[in-house]
Structure 1
Amino acid sequence: MKMLGAILAGGESRRFGSAKADAILDGRKLVDHVAEALRHDCDALVICGRTHPKIFRLEDRPTAGLGPLGGLCAALIHGRDSGFDAVLSAPCDAPNLPAGLLLLLSQGGPTAYVADHPVVGLWPCALADRLLSHLEQNGDRSLRNWARAAEAAAIGLPQPISNINTPDDLAAIQRRCAL
């Protein structure tokens, strides 16, 4: 199966106060932690909603400002049009993605997401037109609602994935890493 890794990074980082994708953890940007984790399972990477010097950029679809679903929609369309079978998605602010993420998610079937962090998911590229229509017709931008509509399985993980929204969240993770 040909897998496209998609880093969803189009948010405004209002609670963080600056571009959290560029925040440093353990000497590297958060987005680079995510890229490294996805590279193990993916044939290629894209970043949605921002630029990165080493990763191909996609503009959110059908328009900017739709949150993670706009980035996922762009990745699914790009993946479908480029011969990929599926997209493995993750947010730019989840630096502790587990090893073997694709294997963990694929246990839920061809469409699955992490139950407590639905931005992390496995999405067949065949869903591209369905997600585009979902966004254009009803404007529902909830990833959980999209996952239900796509009949995705919710997968629990043995360890939670970090979700860094504020500088305090980052500081807490830095303290845990220092122990």
Structure 2
Amino acid sequence: MFSAAVLAGGQSRRFGEDKARFVYQGRPLMAWVLESFAGAAERFIVSNRPYPEFGLPVHADVKPGGDAMSGVHTALYHARREWVAVAACDLPFLGRGYWGWLLEQAHADPSARLVAGASASGFPEPLAALYHRSLLEDLGHRLDTGRLRLRSLFEEHPARVLPWEGLEARFGPRLFLNANQTEDLPKP
């Protein structure tokens, strides 16, 4: 089992409205991500805004000002499980199978502290990843010292990064499609 956190702290400037609440194919984008976490022992939202309509705890950043790093730190801080699935609220094509598969990969490599899929460009997707709670102290230190690049965690800690080709074959080409503008979302 794992904990699961949706990050909904961005400003949605390019999007033009709150991405988490944007209705895509009949449901808010955040609902799609929350559904992908159906196998989690606990689910919560990390945001500095309230989201009562989702019926889940909402936690504001413990150490604000660090963008996504603050969100991941807050997720690890509040999680009760060893592994924490973290996803941005604008990734509607993640599915329950994706998180189950990442967790299998984490258990297959006991030294790993991060597990993520790689994008087509080969870089890990830090906002669709599993983080081990043992990273909490390091994330706090990074926030204190202004080291805010999430991808650097994958370079400095034992990580399992799964190649895009296998992910695409298993979960489809839209897996990491995030919505920066409404036009980014495919029409039904």
Letter matched to residue 141 of structure 1 = L
**Higher deviation after alignment, 127-136 or 24-33:** 127-136
**Distance in structure 1 (CA, Å) of the matches to 2:68 and 2:37:** 17
TM-score when normalising by structure 2: 0.81
Which residue does the alignment assign to 1:167?
182
The correspondence of residues 41-52 of structure 1 with structure 2, limited to 5 A, is 41-49=39-47, 50-52=49-51
Residue identity matched to 2:177: S
| Contact 1:88-1:120 at 8 Å conserved across structures | yes
Q: Which runs of 4+ in 1 moved over 6 A?
A: none
Asked if residue 103 in structure 1 is aligned to residue 97 in structure 2, the reply is no
Q: What does residue 154 of structure 1 align with?
A: 161
Unpaired segments of 5 or more residues in structure 1?
none
Instruction: Please list, as runs of the form range in 1=range in 2, the aligned pairs for 1:1-179 lying within 5 A after superposition.
Output: 1=1, 3-39=2-38, 41-49=39-47, 50-53=49-52, 54-63=55-64, 65-79=65-79, 83-106=80-103, 107=105, 109=109, 110=112, 111-116=114-119, 117-137=125-145, 139-156=146-163, 157-158=167-168, 159=172, 160-170=175-185, 173=186, 175=187, 178=188
Q: How many residues align?
A: 166
Shift of 1:104: 2.2
For the Cα contact (< 8 Å) 1:77–1:129, is it kept in 2?
A: no
8 Å CA contact 2:4, 2:37 repeated in 1: yes
What is the aligned-residue identity percentage? 31
Q: Is the 8 A contact 2:8 2:46 kept in 1?
A: yes
Structure 2 unmatched runs, 5+: 120-124
Amino acid of the structure 2 residue aligned with 1:120: A
Normalising by structure 1, we get a TM-score of 0.85
Q: Aligned Cα RMSD in Å?
A: 1.6
